[in-house]
Amino acid sequence: MVGVVAVLTSSVQADRAASRQTGGGTVPETTRTQESGYEILEHTADIGVAAWGPTPADAFAAAARGMFAIMLGSDPQGWRGNGRPATIEVEVTGEDWPALLVNWLSELLFHFEVDWFVPLSYEFHECAPPRCQARVTGRHLERLDDVCGVGIKAVTYHQIAVQVGETRTDVRVIFDI
């Protein structure tokens, strides 16, 4: 299982000042001490997530947690919503890291919109282009009363960035709200 520590901030001005260009977008430089985590990014008329982890799977899990923190109004790990426990298998393909990240998050968004599924933990079987596959454990909601965050319409390629290093992976993704 992937353990993730969340860091929620309303702005990332220090990170933006020290950002680096990667794959068409920027991944903020960080001095974070957490092994894995995410930050909510403000963006004109949209919202996004910068996430990181020691492996691509950890960073993808952190990005998913950040996306659901936006939609739920709180970090999924501390969220106390209604519903019954459930496990789903998620498998997506993508020709490169940005496509794989967009497809991964889009698939999780689809399961939330159609099945009211909120993921809480991730067990990755594979996470490298052209495929990402994971067993995702969470809750199927009975009602949406406990969801008080911002609705996400789509995962976008706007300013997307994925930087895979030997000891750390950083990602950035913007959502259409």
Which domains are present in the chain?
A: 13-176 (3.55.10.10)
At 126 the pLDDT is 98
Cis peptide before 130 (omega within 30 of 0): yes
Chain mean position to CA 100: 12
At 148 the pLDDT is 79
At 129 the pLDDT is 98
From residue 27, give the alpha-carbon distance in Å to each of 20, 133, 144, 165. Answer: 6, 24, 33, 13
At 33 the pLDDT is 55
At 143 the pLDDT is 81
The tokens describing 37, both together, are: 């985590």
Residue ranges in the chain modelled with pLDDT below 50? 1-31
At 99 the pLDDT is 99
Sign of CA dihedral 172, 70, 30, 164: negative
